[in-house]
Amino acid sequence: MDIRCRKTVCKFNDRFTCKAKGILINGKVICESFVNDSLNKKDIDTTKKLFDKIPTYAPQRDSKTICIECKANCLFNHNGKCVSNGITLNAIKEKAFCISFLKK
């Protein structure tokens, strides 16, 4: 499973890959595992220089090494576990939204 996070100020974000032991997506499609670490990390807006410099990504994680719980009314929610091939968390405002969400 490919787990991409665009929330670059998160404590668990390593070059756009989530390194948390587990992820919880709540009923409002927000990642509750997000921990703001803006004092130690800077917010990287890759869209400004998208065609100038290619961003570096950490290797993808195996889905067996991370537990992804989901409480959203999502097509990929199977008994509280995410069964998607991959998830992406977006960097909209202060929250980290799961943009892989598809309403049932």
Position 41 scores a pLDDT of 81
Provide the whole-model pTM: 0.81
SS3 81: strand
Task: Tell me the mean pLDDT per 10 residues along the chain, length 104.
Answer: 84 89 93 89 68 75 77 95 87 82 92
Quote the Cα angle for 52-90-15, to 5°: 55
Token pair 């069964």: residue = 83
pLDDT of amino acid 16: 87
